[in-house]
Amino acid sequence: MSNHDILTTERLVFREFHLDDAAFFLRLNSDWEVMKYTGDVAFKDIEEARDLVRNYDHYRQYGYGRWTVFLRESMERIGWCGLKNHPDEGYIDLGYRFERQHWGRGYATEAAEASIAYGFDTLNMNWIVGRTASENKGSIRVLEKVGMTFWKKAPCEGIVDSLFYEIRK
């Protein structure tokens, strides 16, 4: 683990976003299958991806955020995962996004479990929310595997039929 790594699991390493992640984020967000349930739009170009990294202030503002996720063995970037504060809504949410070729291998579940544990054990959080589109069966499975339970259905950031899950310490 380097000085910049936030945490590691058996197979994964998490670290804060760096400018050299921008090309990966551009590629990740250019995959329609990856983006279809997110409510987000793809970056227009590499500069827009760099702007996301440059302007990402959650680490400074809250002491945590979304983290780039790497395979521990090869240090290949495979996605991002982490916690995001939504002060206007009054909750912290767990989010993740992985390249399609890494789906179905348990990485999202492993990353989500580690992020929740970090939130509860290191950051002393008591409540974390997970949100997904109701059609996103894979994401629903991940949220349920990590112990989250259904909380409510409500619109969320461009997704009309979002499902909210929650877990408490």
| pLDDT single digits (tens) 100-123 | 999 999 999 999 999 999 999 999
Mean of pLDDT values over 121-138: 96
Tokens describing residue 14: 């998490």
Measured from the Cβ of residue 18, the count of other Cβ atoms closer than 10 Å reads 10
Alpha helices in the chain (DSSP H): 22-29, 32-35, 46-55, 58-62, 107-117, 137-145
Mean of pLDDT values over 95-103: 97
5-125, CATH topology level: Aminopeptidase (3.40.630)
Tokens describing residue 23: 């090309």
The pTM score is 0.94
pLDDT bin (cut points 50, 70, 90) of residue 5 is confident
Domain layout of the chain by residue ranges: 5-125
Tokens describing residue 46: 């590499």
